[in-house]
Amino acid sequence: MLQLWELKEQLIKDLNEANLPIDAVYYVLKDIVEEVSSVYNQQIQQLQMEKNAAASAKEDESRDDSQDEPATAALEIEEKEEK
């Protein structure tokens, strides 16, 4: 939390020292917010894609397992009939 406060203080100091008009400061801060928001949204999308891929892999694995079970059951029935 201290780093966030230090970042805020540094930004304020740098913007004040730049002697920019308030409109320019507004657009600089707006650009920063848009860039941070974009990076955040990309990270969220990437995490969601990874989560979906993991769920899909798990679903495929369980589907493979369930397909094996009927074949095994059929073999067991055939073996019993032969005896």
**Which pLDDT value is given to residue 41?**
97
Per-residue model confidence as pLDDT tens digits over 10-69:
999 999 999 999 999 999 999 999 999 999 999 999 999 999 998 888 887 777 666 555
**15-to-1, 2, 27, 40 alpha-carbon distances in Å:** 21, 20, 12, 24
pLDDT at 81: 60
Question: 25, 15 in Cβ contact below 8 A?
Answer: yes
Residue-level length of the chain:
83
pLDDT for the residue 65: 63
How many Cα atoms sit within 13 Å of 46 on the Cβ side?
A: 6
pTM for this one? 0.56
- Domain of residue 61: give its range: 2-82
- Total domains in the chain come to 1
pLDDT interval class at 71 (50, 70, 90): low
